[in-house]
Structure 1
Amino acid sequence: MSPPTYKRLDKDNCLFLFVDHQTALCGLVRDFEPVEFLNNVKALVRLCTFFKCPAILTTSFDTGPNGPMIKGVRDALPDAPLVRRPGQINAMDNEEFADLIKKSGKRQIIISGVLTEVCVTFPALALIEQGYDLFAITDASGTFAEHTREATHKRLVQHGVQLLNWVAAAGELQRDWRNDVEGFGALWDEFVPSYSYVLQGRPSEK
Protein backbone atom coordinates (compact mmCIF):
# COMPACT_ATOMS: atom_id res chain seq x y z
CA MET A 1 0.00 0.00 0.00
CA SER A 2 1.42 3.36 -0.99
CA PRO A 3 1.73 6.04 1.70
CA PRO A 4 -0.92 8.78 1.82
CA THR A 5 -0.26 12.01 -0.02
CA TYR A 6 1.57 14.64 2.01
CA LYS A 7 -0.88 17.51 2.20
CA ARG A 8 1.24 20.47 3.24
CA LEU A 9 -0.28 23.58 4.74
CA ASP A 10 -0.40 26.50 2.33
CA LYS A 11 -0.85 29.96 3.83
CA ASP A 12 -2.68 31.12 0.69
CA ASN A 13 -5.28 28.36 0.97
CA CYS A 14 -5.91 28.29 4.73
CA LEU A 15 -8.86 29.30 6.85
CA PHE A 16 -8.60 29.33 10.65
CA LEU A 17 -11.63 28.29 12.70
CA PHE A 18 -11.73 29.15 16.40
CA VAL A 19 -14.65 27.20 17.82
CA ASP A 20 -16.07 27.91 21.28
CA HIS A 21 -12.99 29.25 23.05
CA GLN A 22 -15.41 30.65 25.63
CA THR A 23 -14.77 31.70 29.19
CA ALA A 24 -16.71 28.93 30.93
CA LEU A 25 -15.76 26.20 28.48
CA CYS A 26 -12.06 27.00 28.77
CA GLY A 27 -12.49 26.50 32.50
CA LEU A 28 -13.30 22.85 31.79
CA VAL A 29 -9.91 22.20 30.16
CA ARG A 30 -7.88 19.81 32.30
CA ASP A 31 -5.46 18.24 29.81
CA PHE A 32 -3.35 21.40 29.87
CA GLU A 33 -2.47 23.82 32.62
CA PRO A 34 -4.49 27.05 32.26
CA VAL A 35 -1.51 29.29 31.50
CA GLU A 36 -0.07 26.82 29.00
CA PHE A 37 -3.38 26.42 27.23
CA LEU A 38 -3.99 30.15 26.93
CA ASN A 39 -0.45 30.62 25.61
CA ASN A 40 -1.09 27.99 22.95
CA VAL A 41 -4.37 29.58 21.88
CA LYS A 42 -2.76 33.02 21.68
CA ALA A 43 0.12 31.56 19.67
CA LEU A 44 -2.32 30.08 17.16
CA VAL A 45 -4.11 33.41 16.86
CA ARG A 46 -0.74 35.03 16.27
CA LEU A 47 -0.01 32.56 13.47
CA CYS A 48 -3.26 33.52 11.85
CA THR A 49 -2.41 37.22 11.90
CA PHE A 50 1.28 36.71 11.04
CA PHE A 51 0.46 34.81 7.87
CA LYS A 52 -2.53 37.08 7.11
CA CYS A 53 -4.93 34.16 6.88
CA PRO A 54 -8.70 34.64 7.22
CA ALA A 55 -10.45 33.40 10.34
CA ILE A 56 -13.96 32.68 11.52
CA LEU A 57 -14.89 32.71 15.19
CA THR A 58 -17.93 31.05 16.66
CA THR A 59 -19.53 30.67 20.07
CA SER A 60 -22.19 28.36 21.39
CA PHE A 61 -24.99 29.75 23.54
CA ASP A 62 -22.79 32.60 24.78
CA THR A 63 -25.65 34.32 26.58
CA GLY A 64 -25.93 31.27 28.81
CA PRO A 65 -23.47 29.30 30.95
CA ASN A 66 -20.82 28.88 28.24
CA GLY A 67 -19.92 32.57 28.41
CA PRO A 68 -18.40 34.88 25.76
CA MET A 69 -15.38 34.27 23.56
CA ILE A 70 -12.18 34.80 25.56
CA LYS A 71 -10.49 38.15 25.01
CA GLY A 72 -7.26 36.56 23.79
CA VAL A 73 -9.05 35.48 20.64
CA ARG A 74 -11.67 38.15 20.05
CA ASP A 75 -9.45 41.17 20.67
CA ALA A 76 -6.66 39.86 18.45
CA LEU A 77 -9.01 39.15 15.53
CA PRO A 78 -11.40 42.11 15.58
CA ASP A 79 -12.17 41.91 11.87
CA ALA A 80 -12.95 38.19 11.82
CA PRO A 81 -16.67 37.34 11.68
CA LEU A 82 -18.09 36.03 14.94
CA VAL A 83 -20.98 33.61 14.55
CA ARG A 84 -22.95 33.42 17.78
CA ARG A 85 -24.77 30.11 17.50
CA PRO A 86 -28.06 30.15 19.43
CA GLY A 87 -28.04 26.45 20.17
CA GLN A 88 -26.43 24.24 17.52
CA ILE A 89 -23.77 22.04 19.13
CA ASN A 90 -22.11 21.14 15.84
CA ALA A 91 -21.03 24.49 14.38
CA MET A 92 -21.61 23.15 10.87
CA ASP A 93 -25.31 22.87 11.67
CA ASN A 94 -25.37 26.67 11.76
CA GLU A 95 -26.14 27.95 8.26
CA GLU A 96 -24.27 31.24 8.66
CA PHE A 97 -21.10 29.52 9.85
CA ALA A 98 -21.21 26.91 7.08
CA ASP A 99 -21.85 29.57 4.43
CA LEU A 100 -18.91 31.69 5.59
CA ILE A 101 -16.57 28.73 5.21
CA LYS A 102 -17.85 28.03 1.71
CA LYS A 103 -17.61 31.67 0.67
CA SER A 104 -14.00 31.92 1.88
CA GLY A 105 -12.94 29.74 -1.03
CA LYS A 106 -10.26 28.10 1.14
CA ARG A 107 -9.91 24.32 1.11
CA GLN A 108 -7.49 23.84 4.02
CA ILE A 109 -9.14 24.30 7.40
CA ILE A 110 -7.08 24.84 10.55
CA ILE A 111 -9.43 24.17 13.45
CA SER A 112 -9.17 24.49 17.21
CA GLY A 113 -11.72 24.64 19.98
CA VAL A 114 -13.13 23.62 23.33
CA LEU A 115 -14.10 20.88 23.93
CA THR A 116 -11.96 18.82 21.55
CA GLU A 117 -14.32 15.87 21.29
CA VAL A 118 -17.31 18.08 20.48
CA CYS A 119 -16.45 21.58 19.28
CA VAL A 120 -13.50 20.45 17.14
CA THR A 121 -14.51 16.94 16.17
CA PHE A 122 -18.10 17.48 15.04
CA PRO A 123 -17.41 20.29 12.52
CA ALA A 124 -14.13 18.68 11.44
CA LEU A 125 -15.88 15.45 10.47
CA ALA A 126 -18.63 17.37 8.68
CA LEU A 127 -16.04 19.33 6.70
CA ILE A 128 -14.03 16.20 5.84
CA GLU A 129 -17.23 14.77 4.42
CA GLN A 130 -17.50 17.84 2.18
CA GLY A 131 -14.01 17.34 0.79
CA TYR A 132 -12.00 19.85 2.82
CA ASP A 133 -8.54 19.14 4.21
CA LEU A 134 -8.65 19.39 8.00
CA PHE A 135 -5.80 20.25 10.33
CA ALA A 136 -6.69 20.11 14.04
CA ILE A 137 -4.40 22.04 16.38
CA THR A 138 -4.07 19.74 19.36
CA ASP A 139 -2.53 22.10 21.90
CA ALA A 140 -4.98 24.97 21.25
CA SER A 141 -7.90 22.59 21.81
CA GLY A 142 -8.72 21.24 25.23
CA THR A 143 -10.86 18.76 27.09
CA PHE A 144 -11.52 17.10 30.45
CA ALA A 145 -8.62 14.66 30.58
CA GLU A 146 -5.76 13.13 28.59
CA HIS A 147 -7.59 9.83 28.03
CA THR A 148 -10.54 11.76 26.55
CA ARG A 149 -8.18 13.63 24.27
CA GLU A 150 -6.46 10.43 23.10
CA ALA A 151 -9.76 8.76 22.22
CA THR A 152 -10.84 11.84 20.30
CA HIS A 153 -7.57 12.05 18.39
CA LYS A 154 -7.99 8.43 17.28
CA ARG A 155 -11.44 9.23 15.95
CA LEU A 156 -10.18 12.28 14.07
CA VAL A 157 -7.27 10.39 12.50
CA GLN A 158 -9.57 7.58 11.39
CA HIS A 159 -11.48 10.15 9.36
CA GLY A 160 -8.41 11.73 7.78
CA VAL A 161 -7.91 14.78 10.00
CA GLN A 162 -4.26 15.76 10.42
CA LEU A 163 -3.14 16.48 13.99
CA LEU A 164 -0.57 19.24 14.59
CA ASN A 165 0.46 21.47 17.43
CA TRP A 166 0.80 25.18 16.76
CA VAL A 167 4.59 24.90 16.32
CA ALA A 168 4.23 22.32 13.55
CA ALA A 169 1.61 24.48 11.85
CA ALA A 170 3.94 27.47 12.10
CA GLY A 171 6.83 25.64 10.49
CA GLU A 172 4.73 24.25 7.68
CA LEU A 173 3.18 27.61 6.89
CA GLN A 174 6.54 29.41 7.01
CA ARG A 175 8.36 26.86 4.82
CA ASP A 176 11.68 28.72 4.97
CA TRP A 177 13.13 30.86 7.75
CA ARG A 178 14.49 33.24 5.13
CA ASN A 179 10.97 34.31 4.17
CA ASP A 180 10.99 36.52 7.29
CA VAL A 181 13.68 35.64 9.80
CA GLU A 182 12.98 38.52 12.17
CA GLY A 183 9.20 38.18 12.13
CA PHE A 184 9.17 34.42 12.48
CA GLY A 185 11.86 34.56 15.14
CA ALA A 186 9.88 37.13 17.11
CA LEU A 187 6.88 34.81 17.09
CA TRP A 188 8.96 32.01 18.60
CA ASP A 189 10.53 34.38 21.08
CA GLU A 190 7.09 35.48 22.28
CA PHE A 191 5.53 32.06 22.74
CA VAL A 192 8.52 29.77 23.27
CA PRO A 193 10.65 31.84 25.68
CA SER A 194 13.45 29.28 25.87
CA TYR A 195 14.00 29.73 22.14
CA SER A 196 15.28 33.23 22.81
CA TYR A 197 18.65 31.61 23.64
CA VAL A 198 18.85 30.39 20.05
CA LEU A 199 17.96 33.81 18.71
CA GLN A 200 20.59 35.45 20.91
CA GLY A 201 23.22 33.12 19.45
CA ARG A 202 22.26 33.74 15.83
CA PRO A 203 25.04 35.51 13.90
CA SER A 204 24.09 38.96 12.69
CA GLU A 205 23.51 39.28 8.96
CA LYS A 206 26.09 41.23 7.00
Structure 2
Amino acid sequence: MPFTYKRLDKDDCVFLFVDHQAGLVQLVGDFNPHEFRTNVLALAKVASYYGAPAVLTTSFESGPNGPLVKEIRDELPNATFIARPGQINAMDNEDFVNAVKATGKKQIVISGVLTEICVAFPALSLVEQGYDVFVVTDASGTFAEHTREAAHKRMSQAGCQLLNWAAVAAELHRDWRNDIEGFGGIWRDFIPSYWCLMQSYTASQNAK
Protein backbone atom coordinates (compact mmCIF):
# COMPACT_ATOMS: atom_id res chain seq x y z
CA MET A 1 0.00 0.00 0.00
CA PRO A 2 1.55 3.36 -1.03
CA PHE A 3 2.46 5.85 1.68
CA THR A 4 0.14 8.82 2.17
CA TYR A 5 1.76 11.96 3.52
CA LYS A 6 -0.74 13.49 5.96
CA ARG A 7 0.29 17.10 6.41
CA LEU A 8 -0.78 19.34 9.23
CA ASP A 9 -3.44 21.79 8.07
CA LYS A 10 -3.86 25.07 9.99
CA ASP A 11 -7.59 24.98 9.21
CA ASP A 12 -8.14 21.47 10.56
CA CYS A 13 -6.01 21.17 13.71
CA VAL A 14 -6.46 21.67 17.43
CA PHE A 15 -3.64 21.99 19.96
CA LEU A 16 -3.94 20.01 23.19
CA PHE A 17 -1.74 20.97 26.14
CA VAL A 18 -2.10 18.17 28.67
CA ASP A 19 -0.94 18.50 32.27
CA HIS A 20 1.85 21.04 31.92
CA GLN A 21 1.39 21.53 35.65
CA ALA A 22 3.73 23.21 38.09
CA GLY A 23 4.25 20.02 40.07
CA LEU A 24 4.60 17.63 37.15
CA VAL A 25 7.01 19.84 35.20
CA GLN A 26 9.50 19.38 38.02
CA LEU A 27 9.71 15.68 37.09
CA VAL A 28 10.97 16.40 33.57
CA GLY A 29 14.49 15.05 33.24
CA ASP A 30 14.91 14.45 29.51
CA PHE A 31 15.28 18.21 28.87
CA ASN A 32 16.92 20.84 31.02
CA PRO A 33 14.40 23.29 32.57
CA HIS A 34 15.25 26.26 30.30
CA GLU A 35 15.10 24.15 27.15
CA PHE A 36 11.78 22.58 28.07
CA ARG A 37 10.18 25.90 29.01
CA THR A 38 11.34 27.40 25.71
CA ASN A 39 9.90 24.51 23.70
CA VAL A 40 6.52 24.58 25.43
CA LEU A 41 6.14 28.33 25.09
CA ALA A 42 7.23 28.15 21.44
CA LEU A 43 4.47 25.64 20.75
CA ALA A 44 1.93 27.87 22.50
CA LYS A 45 3.13 30.78 20.34
CA VAL A 46 2.70 28.64 17.21
CA ALA A 47 -0.90 27.81 18.17
CA SER A 48 -1.55 31.49 18.82
CA TYR A 49 0.11 32.61 15.59
CA TYR A 50 -2.06 30.36 13.42
CA GLY A 51 -5.22 31.11 15.37
CA ALA A 52 -5.81 27.42 15.93
CA PRO A 53 -8.17 26.31 18.70
CA ALA A 54 -6.52 24.97 21.82
CA VAL A 55 -7.68 22.90 24.75
CA LEU A 56 -5.72 23.11 27.99
CA THR A 57 -6.24 20.57 30.74
CA THR A 58 -4.97 19.61 34.17
CA SER A 59 -5.49 16.64 36.43
CA PHE A 60 -6.03 16.82 40.20
CA GLU A 61 -4.86 20.41 40.62
CA SER A 62 -5.68 20.29 44.32
CA GLY A 63 -3.08 17.55 44.77
CA PRO A 64 0.68 17.61 44.23
CA ASN A 65 0.36 18.02 40.44
CA GLY A 66 -0.41 21.71 40.92
CA PRO A 67 -1.87 24.27 38.51
CA LEU A 68 -1.20 24.68 34.80
CA VAL A 69 1.89 26.80 34.24
CA LYS A 70 0.78 30.40 33.90
CA GLU A 71 2.62 31.25 30.68
CA ILE A 72 0.55 28.85 28.57
CA ARG A 73 -2.72 30.41 29.66
CA ASP A 74 -1.25 33.88 29.13
CA GLU A 75 -0.30 33.02 25.53
CA LEU A 76 -3.64 31.31 24.81
CA PRO A 77 -6.23 33.34 26.74
CA ASN A 78 -9.11 32.13 24.56
CA ALA A 79 -8.31 28.44 24.90
CA THR A 80 -10.80 26.08 26.48
CA PHE A 81 -9.63 24.99 29.91
CA ILE A 82 -10.69 21.71 31.50
CA ALA A 83 -9.70 20.98 35.09
CA ARG A 84 -10.07 17.22 35.43
CA PRO A 85 -10.87 16.10 38.98
CA GLY A 86 -8.54 13.13 38.78
CA GLN A 87 -8.75 11.11 35.55
CA ILE A 88 -5.22 10.23 34.45
CA ASN A 89 -6.16 9.73 30.79
CA ALA A 90 -7.67 13.05 29.69
CA MET A 91 -9.90 11.12 27.28
CA ASP A 92 -11.62 9.52 30.26
CA ASN A 93 -13.01 12.94 31.13
CA GLU A 94 -16.27 13.71 29.33
CA ASP A 95 -15.77 17.48 29.40
CA PHE A 96 -12.38 17.15 27.74
CA VAL A 97 -13.69 14.77 25.09
CA ASN A 98 -16.55 17.15 24.32
CA ALA A 99 -14.18 20.13 24.16
CA VAL A 100 -12.07 18.36 21.55
CA LYS A 101 -15.14 17.35 19.55
CA ALA A 102 -16.55 20.88 19.72
CA THR A 103 -13.59 22.24 17.75
CA GLY A 104 -14.67 20.17 14.75
CA LYS A 105 -11.02 19.46 13.93
CA LYS A 106 -9.65 16.05 12.93
CA GLN A 107 -5.95 16.72 13.42
CA ILE A 108 -4.68 16.69 16.99
CA VAL A 109 -1.41 18.39 17.96
CA ILE A 110 -0.69 17.10 21.45
CA SER A 111 1.97 17.75 24.07
CA GLY A 112 2.16 17.20 27.79
CA VAL A 113 3.81 15.96 30.95
CA LEU A 114 4.53 13.08 31.44
CA THR A 115 5.11 11.78 27.91
CA GLU A 116 4.37 8.11 28.52
CA ILE A 117 1.24 8.85 30.55
CA CYS A 118 -0.37 12.25 30.03
CA VAL A 119 0.52 12.32 26.32
CA ALA A 120 0.51 8.65 25.34
CA PHE A 121 -2.77 7.64 26.98
CA PRO A 122 -4.96 10.31 25.30
CA ALA A 123 -2.97 10.06 22.05
CA LEU A 124 -3.74 6.35 21.79
CA SER A 125 -7.39 6.97 22.67
CA LEU A 126 -7.63 9.69 20.01
CA VAL A 127 -6.14 7.42 17.33
CA GLU A 128 -8.65 4.76 18.31
CA GLN A 129 -11.44 7.30 17.74
CA GLY A 130 -10.22 8.12 14.23
CA TYR A 131 -8.25 11.33 14.76
CA ASP A 132 -4.90 12.03 13.12
CA VAL A 133 -2.52 12.58 16.03
CA PHE A 134 0.71 14.59 15.93
CA VAL A 135 2.84 14.33 19.07
CA VAL A 136 5.14 17.27 19.79
CA THR A 137 8.16 15.51 21.21
CA ASP A 138 10.16 18.46 22.52
CA ALA A 139 7.17 20.11 24.25
CA SER A 140 6.47 16.85 26.09
CA GLY A 141 8.68 15.78 28.95
CA THR A 142 9.29 12.81 31.20
CA PHE A 143 11.72 11.25 33.67
CA ALA A 144 14.50 10.21 31.31
CA GLU A 145 15.39 9.58 27.68
CA HIS A 146 14.79 5.82 27.88
CA THR A 147 11.21 6.31 29.15
CA ARG A 148 10.63 8.89 26.43
CA GLU A 149 11.87 6.51 23.72
CA ALA A 150 9.58 3.73 24.93
CA ALA A 151 6.60 6.11 24.83
CA HIS A 152 7.52 7.32 21.35
CA LYS A 153 7.69 3.75 20.06
CA ARG A 154 4.33 2.90 21.56
CA MET A 155 2.65 5.92 19.99
CA SER A 156 4.32 5.66 16.58
CA GLN A 157 3.37 2.00 16.32
CA ALA A 158 -0.24 3.06 16.88
CA GLY A 159 -0.05 5.57 14.03
CA CYS A 160 0.88 8.82 15.78
CA GLN A 161 3.27 11.14 13.96
CA LEU A 162 6.20 12.44 16.01
CA LEU A 163 7.66 15.89 15.36
CA ASN A 164 9.09 18.88 17.21
CA TRP A 165 7.53 22.32 17.61
CA ALA A 166 9.57 23.81 14.76
CA ALA A 167 8.34 21.11 12.37
CA VAL A 168 4.75 21.81 13.46
CA ALA A 169 5.25 25.49 12.70
CA ALA A 170 6.86 24.84 9.32
CA GLU A 171 4.37 22.25 8.13
CA LEU A 172 1.48 24.56 8.98
CA HIS A 173 3.16 27.53 7.27
CA ARG A 174 3.91 25.74 3.99
CA ASP A 175 5.75 28.64 2.32
CA TRP A 176 8.09 31.29 3.76
CA ARG A 177 6.51 33.89 1.48
CA ASN A 178 3.22 33.66 3.36
CA ASP A 179 4.67 35.82 6.16
CA ILE A 180 8.44 36.15 6.42
CA GLU A 181 8.55 38.46 9.44
CA GLY A 182 5.82 36.73 11.45
CA PHE A 183 7.00 33.18 10.89
CA GLY A 184 10.65 34.16 11.17
CA GLY A 185 9.87 36.05 14.35
CA ILE A 186 8.84 32.84 16.09
CA TRP A 187 12.11 31.19 15.10
CA ARG A 188 14.05 34.30 16.14
CA ASP A 189 12.42 34.38 19.58
CA PHE A 190 12.69 30.67 20.40
CA ILE A 191 15.73 29.39 18.49
CA PRO A 192 18.75 31.37 19.71
CA SER A 193 20.88 30.66 16.65
CA TYR A 194 18.15 32.09 14.40
CA TRP A 195 18.33 35.49 16.08
CA CYS A 196 21.32 36.64 14.03
CA LEU A 197 19.91 35.19 10.81
CA MET A 198 16.82 37.35 11.16
CA GLN A 199 18.99 40.35 11.94
CA SER A 200 20.93 39.77 8.72
CA TYR A 201 17.71 39.45 6.75
CA THR A 202 16.25 42.62 8.26
CA ALA A 203 19.45 44.54 7.57
CA SER A 204 19.52 43.40 3.94
CA GLN A 205 15.90 44.43 3.45
CA ASN A 206 16.49 47.85 4.98
CA ALA A 207 19.50 48.38 2.72
CA LYS A 208 17.43 48.01 -0.44
Same-fold call, TM cutoff 0.5: yes
Distance in structure 2 (CA, Å) of the matches to 1:41 and 1:99: 24
In structure 2, the residue corresponding to 1:18 is in which secondary structure? Answer: strand
Distance in structure 1 (CA, Å) of the matches to 2:76 and 2:170: 21
Match of 1:45 in 2: 44
Q: Alpha-carbon deviations, 1:112-150, whole Å to 9, x = none?
A: 000000000000000101110000000000000000000
State the one-letter code of the partner of 1:142.
Answer: G
Match of 1:204 in 2: 205
Match of 1:97 in 2: 96
1:157 aligns with 2:151: no
Match of 1:183 in 2: 182
Deviation at 1:170, TM superposition (A): 0.7
1:61 aligns with 2:60: yes
In structure 2, the residue corresponding to 1:11 is in which secondary structure? Answer: coil
State the one-letter code of the partner of 2:110.
Answer: I
Distance in structure 1 (CA, Å) of the matches to 2:158 and 2:63: 32
1:30 aligns with 2:29: yes
Q: Normalized against structure 2, the TM-score is what?
A: 0.96
Deviation at 1:200, TM superposition (A): 2.3
Match of 2:172 in 1: 173
**How much is the aligned-residue C-alpha RMSD, in angstroms?**
1.0
Deviation at 1:196, TM superposition (A): 1.8
How many pairs align? 205
Q: Unaligned stretches of 5+ in structure 2?
A: none
In structure 1, the residue corresponding to 2:56 is in which secondary structure? Answer: strand
Deviation at 1:76, TM superposition (A): 1.4
Distance in structure 2 (CA, Å) of the matches to 1:198 and 1:80: 32
Deviation at 1:78, TM superposition (A): 1.6
Deviation at 1:75, TM superposition (A): 1.5
State the one-letter code of the partner of 1:151.
Answer: A
Distance in structure 1 (CA, Å) of the matches to 2:188 and 2:198: 8
Q: Which runs of 4+ in 1 moved over 3 A?
A: none
Deviation at 1:201, TM superposition (A): 2.4
Identity %: 63
